[in-house]
Structure 1
Amino acid sequence: MAQPQQVEILFEKTLEAFGTVDVLVNNAGIQHTAPTAAFPVEKWDLILAVNLSAAFHATRLALPGMQQTGWGRIINIASVHGLVGSANKSAYCAAKHGLVGFTKVVALEHAADGITVNSICPGWTDTPLLNQQFENYAREHGVSFEEAKLGLIHTKTPFPSLIQPSAIGELAAFLCSDAAAGITGAALPIDGAWTAQ
């Protein structure tokens, strides 16, 4: 996903197999944590490429077909870090804030075309992306991996558990429904009240 030509090949193969792309979910994401002054340049470039630029390339390729049919749904899986910042996550926050802004622009450009464009902004989600952070917290606080999950969650939100990926999928499915036809340009948090503070 970090290479535009590979995204183009993915679209070519998809169109060969299915003829159209009606729903696009941009869900690729990676993370690295480090203080800004010590952030590895190659990690910065890779995170921006995968987390932000890949969504641009996939979207630009999907839009012509959606415009032709007069219907489309684009859902960008951003993050609570598209709405707030966190220390040691400069690249991730920059990419996810960029993704939320990109969502708004494409929504404005295509609101009259039958195409909706929204961002889902999950908080602490039960995926391997967080494992390194949980391991670091467990080591630093002398607690088990499971205890570290709850401890780290509570540094940002009162919600008592990780968000399940299925909840994100169900929100994405709703955004593809007729009931959500008027929802476009939104950044919808599933964050356990993180951004309510």
Structure 2
Amino acid sequence: MGEASRNKFVVMVTGAAGNLGGAVVAEFLDTGAKVAAVERHLLDQDRRASWQKGEILDLEGIDLTDLSACQDAVRRTLDAFGRLDALVNTVGGFQTGPVEEQGLDQWDHMFQMNARTAYAISAAALKPMQDTGYGRIVHIAAAPGLKAGASQAAYAASKSAVIRLTEAIAAENRDRRITANCILPGTIDTPQNRAAMPNAKTDAWVQPADIAKLIGFLVSPAGGIVTGAAIPAMGRV
């Protein structure tokens, strides 16, 4: 954000229709930021209505595996708001399966959903940040990206790629006042996770709004001291 006032701050949030992405959009709108909400599918009307309190640009139908689509989303953001100060990338997918011949498709799919999307949108967003000499990038990775468990080869490797990508961006852009960090959430408290794990103890699950506040810190002026980090956000203790 640098010397810019908070109400001029522009953040792009990918996966805006998701539980975490929606919480991130709400967090930034609450602070007076302008938000470019990127989503591959149509945004839910109820969620869209809840965002009417702030300046928001709906960017629907954006395939983040496609570099040209990412570049178009950045261009439309610049056309609407004149700048791009931060990228928060919440897009990703989760699948598990053992290492076997039939698992190669899953390997490719996880790298498309997690690693390629993170690379493409980062590459597109970095250009205007480098031009202005300021920027913040936050990705969502996962703890298996540090150490895989059984049946996690594809997922863990793709999330490890996100962590390594983040580290490289941080190292390459440190002198440009651009930071890059990623968050490793625990189980996020969402309706989908509750339905999938009806007997789980949810007390320590991570609230999307709490992750959004952590992201808010990372893109703030105070957050400029943190770059190249993989930050655990594993829930309340």
1:131 offset after TM fit, Å? 6.0
The farther-off stretch of 122-131 and 66-75 is 122-131
Q: Does 2:114 align with 1:51?
A: yes
> Shift in Å at residue 164 of structure 1?
0.8
Aligned to 1:165: 208
Question: Partner of 1:60: helix, strand, or coil?
Answer: helix
Find the residue that maps to 2:166 and give its secondary structure: helix
C-alpha displacement at 1:128, in angstroms? Answer: 5.7
The residue aligned with 1:174 is 217
Q: Where in structure 1 are there 5+ consecutive unaligned residues? A: 135-144, 154-159
SS in 2 for 1:36: coil
Q: Which residue of 1 aligns with 2:67?
A: 4
Structure 1 residue 82: deviation in Å? 2.0
Counterpart selection for 1:34 from 93, 97, 104: 97
Shift of the 177–126 alpha-carbon distance from structure 1 to 2, 3 Å rule, reads same
Deviations 1:37-79 (A, max 9, x none): 1654333222211211111111111112111111100001111
Q: Which amino acid aligns with 1:167?
A: D
Question: 1:2 aligns to what SS in structure 2?
Answer: coil
Query: Match of 2:133, as an amino acid?
Result: G
Partner-residue secondary structure (3-state), 1:162: coil
Partner SS, residue 25 of structure 1: strand
Structure 1 residue 184 and structure 2 residue 227: aligned? yes
Counterpart amino acid of residue 126 in structure 1: D
Q: Given that residues 31 and 129 in structure 1 are in contact (C-alpha distance below 8 angstroms), is that contact kept between their aligned partners in structure 2? A: no
Q: Is the 8 A contact 2:67 2:124 kept in 1?
A: no
Structure 2 CA distance for partners of 1:44 and 1:131, relative to 1, 3 Å: farther
Which residue type is aligned with residue 207 of structure 2? Q
| Long gaps (5+) in structure 2 | 1-63
Q: How many residues align?
A: 174
Selected match of 2:140 from 77, 81, 87 = 77
Q: TM-score, normalised by structure 2?
A: 0.67
Q: CA deviation at 1:133?
A: 5.5
**One-letter code of the match for 1:171?**
L
TM-score (norm 1): 0.79
Question: Any idea what SS the aligned residue of 1:44 has?
Answer: helix
For the Cα contact (< 8 Å) 1:2–1:46, is it kept in 2? no
* Greater RCO (Cα-Cα under 8 Å, separation 6 or more): 1
Checking the alignment, whether the CA contact within 8 Å between 1:72 and 1:114 is kept in structure 2 is yes
- Tell me, in whole angstroms, the C-alpha distance in 1 between the residues paired with 2:101 and 2:149: 16
The structure carrying a bigger strand percent of its residues is 2
- Between the aligned partners of 1:128 and 1:13, the Cα distance in structure 2 is 32
Offset of 1:174 from its aligned partner?
0.2
More helix by share: 1
Matched, 1:62 2:115: no
Task: Kindly report the root-mean-square deviation, in angstroms, between the aligned alpha carbons of the 2 structures.
Answer: 2.2
Identity of aligned residues (%): 34
- Contact preservation (8 Å) 1:121, 1:189: yes
Distance 1:118 1:81, change over 3 A: same
CA contact (8 A) 1:118 1:185 kept: yes
Q: Is 1:115 aligned with 2:178?
A: yes
